[in-house]
Amino acid sequence: MKLEKSANRKAVTVREKPRRLLPVAQQESVIISIAADLFLQRGYGGVSIDAITSIAGGSKRDIYLLFGDKESLFERCITMLVEENTAPLKRISPVDDIRTCLKSAGLLIVDIFLQPKTLALHKLIVANADLKLSASKSFLEGGPQRVYQAVADLLVHHDRCNLTNVSDAKAFAKIFVGGLTAELQIRALMGETIDISEREAKVDLAVRSFLEGVCAQNP
């Protein structure tokens, strides 16, 4: 009997804390993560605050105190998803050979655009475009604009080294990313699988075509 009581006491001590006892920052993180998954699965209109609390625990009052309303929570979810999806951009760094640099960046960008979570996020934003939610702006600024800026930074670096002739790095970056990803992403959104060999071929073609237009001296 004593052993049984001891085991029960131990089980209680290792039990996970209820969400309401977590620090506020951790509460927000848990709720955002759960809500983001629900929004991706069901869409904005298909998710209620009750549905979120049924999984996350707590009450509707907790949600409103932490986030204000459903739209604000949705925007926080989109911001988190965009940051997660674009995190690999941090691995992009300039190298001496601009062709190699753009190929590496291109493959990374294609992988980001074609990963399932990015495609699901794209569908979610487009499906709710008519609602004019503030989250749409967060998506554009944090997603595509962040990708354009990463490529623009590479071009500026090489321009300073007299390896390219770029008058407007951001504009050229948009041309490169658009030519690289537009067709592939549309096909992926329609359910087609793009294998690695096709991705590599697309990147090679995009880099070659791009450099013919912006390089002062072809490498």
CATH of the domain at 40: 1.10.10
pTM for the model:
0.79
| Tens of pLDDT, residues 82-118 | 999 999 999 888 876 888 999 999 999 999 999 999 9
73 occurs within a structural domain = no
How far separated are the first and last CA of the chain, in Å rounded? 80
Report the domain count for the chain. 2
Instruction: Give residue 140's pLDDT band: very low, low, confident or very high (50, 70, 90).
Output: confident
184 occurs within a structural domain = yes
3 occurs within a structural domain = no
Please say if the pLDDT value at position 208 is more than 60: yes
Q: Are residues 142 and 189 in the same domain?
A: yes
Other beta carbons within 10 angstroms of residue 191's beta carbon come to 7
191 occurs within a structural domain = yes
Of the two residues 46 and 165, the one the predictor is more confident about is 46
Q: Which residue range(s) make up the domain with 115?
A: 84-214
Q: Are residues 140 and 37 in the same domain?
A: no
Q: Are residues 48 and 111 in the same domain?
A: no
Please say if the pLDDT value at position 18 is more than 50: no
Phi, psi of 115 (to 5 degrees): -70, 145
Q: Are residues 99 and 33 in the same domain?
A: no
Other beta carbons within 10 angstroms of residue 134's beta carbon come to 13
Query: DSSP label at 133?
Result: -
Q: Are residues 58 and 146 in the same domain?
A: no
172 occurs within a structural domain = yes
